[in-house]
Structure 1
Amino acid sequence: MAIRLITDGGADLPESILANRNITIIPLNVMINDITYKSGVELTSEKFYRLMKENETLPKTSSPSPNDFYEAYKNIDENEDVIVIALSSALSSTFESATIGRGMLLEEQPNRNISIVDAKTASVGQAVLVHKACKLIDEGLATADIVSKLNETVSTLNTKFVLDTLENVIKGGRLDKVRGAVASVLNIKLLMEATEDGKVDVVEKVRGTKKALKRLIEQIGECTSNFEEKTLIVAHSNCADRAADVMQKIKEQYPFKELLLAELGPVIGTYAGEGGIVIAYE
């Protein structure tokens, strides 16, 4: 049985994954200056960061509609199973839209097999799950077994990040205003992570970007092992040189099987602002 993967605009996928796979990406909506764009379709990362600089108002994001998923499902051959890896249900209603859209299609095609995984993370956290799903498909596993292994991975996945500015994440309601304001004034950088229930929380507070990134890298060794069997993905928000430096330091310290690079797209970039670094690994 052929299997088609679907994810959404909250995932930041490395080009190496996109280039070799037929992955359907359901865009989220990003509104800038009263104009709504489909992330990754009508709004590239380059255009997004330029527009964000030009506008004082924080962009707004919204989830795809159930109909967006319904249409995507319907356009896939009925003989293909579908696995959806959706942005954390604690951060977005995208998972809910995917589920409702599945119900809409099953009313017409009750024999379709569509499985939806709540990633309980975003960005390169989703990308790690997509990458793993691709590997499991290549190994010939059945759909139910792949979904089971993905849900196991969700429970052990680490998605951690350091932001250069807290302005966007505060305005976007993802960080308490008081904590954020104090950190900004004191040049304290917050090491943050996706929690087990798919929310965002502060792990540590470090003064200065350099020390924060050093601590971000140190945490890898504290959180995981068996590096030779695993993939780590780094993403950046319009700071390619910083990301390259972080990747080099990770490579020097940990023998990951694969080390991949991505760029934060418009959805996660809305909250990260420029200068952010996100990493994800099992």
Structure 2
Amino acid sequence: MRLTIRIITDGGADFPQGMPEKCGLHIVPLHVTFGNEPFDLRLGMQAFYSNIKTNSVLPKTASPSPQDFVEAFNQYPGDDILVIALSSGLSSTYQHAVLAKEMVLEENSGRRIEVIDTRTGSIGQALVAYRCWQEIQAGKPFDDVVAAAYAIALGSGTLFYLDTLENLVKGGRLNQAKGAIASVLNIKLFMQASLEGTVEVVEKVRGKKNALARLIDKFDELGGPADGRVLGIAHSTTEEEVRGILDRILAKHPFREVFIAEVGPVIGTYAGEGGIVVSYA
């Protein structure tokens, strides 16, 4: 007899405080290192951004290995496993989880493990995990939860706002000359998660006020569907600014649940300070 359905996810997700404990999530961390030194999450994100400012190169982020996932799966030998993975368009985490599934099933073909490519990350990935947990709480069998997980991931949406392009320059994703011009012109990037799970630039907007207004406009264009869905914002800015954005969204789209999270080091490596991620699932 199956004991339960266990959700395993990874460090690409940015969770609101208390959600992993409430939902019984097992999180396989991604690795973030400055040089050869792993970043200690207990130091907090302000220390993380300070380290970035004093280094000429960005910290390195590395996916969990297949063995990391195998060890996680083996901690729950009697459970069905649902893996909610960071987008395959952003990381090899999904592929490593699939390899781990194949390795475990070679040893025990009777186990049931499904790996979901969320095609998103940060708070978007967290919301997919949360919605799947709700399906489990509703008493649905594993196959139904898996079907729901695919549908939730496909129906989710994620928008990004970058206040600084400094990390993109350091990471080699934007050349230094273009970065300098963008800084002088006060250019902000407004992006979204594509259907393929990559991050694509939607617009380059002058000024923060204009960029945030455009983000909310784009949310409206996507329909901002609230029916039975949840909304989340992950950020590396002020709580006041986040509340202002939420108020403007909720005035038009009354989502049934709203979550706020801090951007963690994986997403923060590229987003930098002042970044905002808005997702629904």
Q: Which 4+ residue blocks in structure 1 deviate beyond 4 angstroms? A: 173-182
Contact 1:192 1:203 in 2 (8 A): yes
What residue identity is the alignment partner of 1:278? V
The residue identity in structure 2 corresponding to 1:60 is: K
Q: Quote the offset at 1:20 in angstroms.
A: 1.1
1:133 to 1:69, Cα distance in 2 relative to 1, 3 A? same
| One-letter code aligned to 1:264 | V
Counterpart of 1:72? 72
Q: 1:24 corresponds to which letter in structure 2? A: H
Using the TM superposition, give the Cα deviation of residue 174 of structure 1 relative to its aligned residue in structure 2, in angstroms: 4.9
- Asked whether the 8 Å contact 2:224–2:253 carries over to 1, the reply is no
The answer to whether residue 205 in structure 2 is matched with residue 202 in structure 1 is no
For residue 11 of structure 1, the aligned residue among 13, 27, 33 is: 13
**Alignment partner, residue 257 of structure 1:** 256
| Residues 174, 94 of structure 1: alpha-carbon distance in 2 compared, 3 angstrom cutoff | farther
Residues 1:253 and 1:177: Cα distance change in structure 2 (over 3 Å): farther
C-alpha contact 2:10 2:30 (8 A) present in aligned 1:
yes
1:214 aligns with 2:213: yes
**Residues in 2 aligned to 1:91 and 1:150: alpha-carbon distance in whole angstroms:** 19
Aligned runs of 1:76-87 on 2, under 5 Å?
Answer: 76=76, 78-87=77-86
TM-score by length of 2: 0.91
- Taking the aligned partners of 2:62 and 2:237, their CA distance within structure 1 comes to 22
- Residue 79 of structure 2 aligns with an amino acid whose one-letter code is E
**Over residues 113-168 of structure 1, what are the superposed CA-to-partner deviations in whole Å (9 max), with x where a residue is unaligned?**
11000111111110120111011111112222222222122222211011111121
Q: TM-score, normalised by structure 1?
A: 0.90
Count residues with an aligned counterpart.
279
Distance across 1 between alignment mates of 2:19 and 2:162 = 25
Instruction: Give the structure 1 partner of residue 162 of structure 2.
Output: 163
Q: Which runs of structure 2 are paired with 1:120-269 in the superposition (5 Å)?
A: 120-174=119-173, 182-269=181-268
Aligned-pair CA distance for 1:15? 1.5
**1:33-85, CA deviations, whole angstroms, 9 ceiling, x for partnerless residues?**
431247x5x66434423432343321111111111101011111x22100001
Deviation of 1:182 after TM superposition, in Å, equals: 4.5
Q: Distance in 2 between matches of 1:116 and 1:193?
A: 23
- Sequence identity of aligned pairs in percent? 45
Name the residue aligned to 1:49.
49
In the other structure, the counterpart of 1:34 is 36
CA contact (8 A) 1:12 1:127 kept: yes
Q: Note if contact 2:20-2:26 (Cα within 8 Å) is conserved in structure 1.
A: no
- Pairwise CA RMSD: 2.1
Report how far residue 10 of structure 1 moved.
0.5
Q: CA deviation at 1:25?
A: 0.5
Q: Distance in 2 between matches of 1:54 and 1:240?
A: 25
Distance 2:215 2:126 in 1: 19
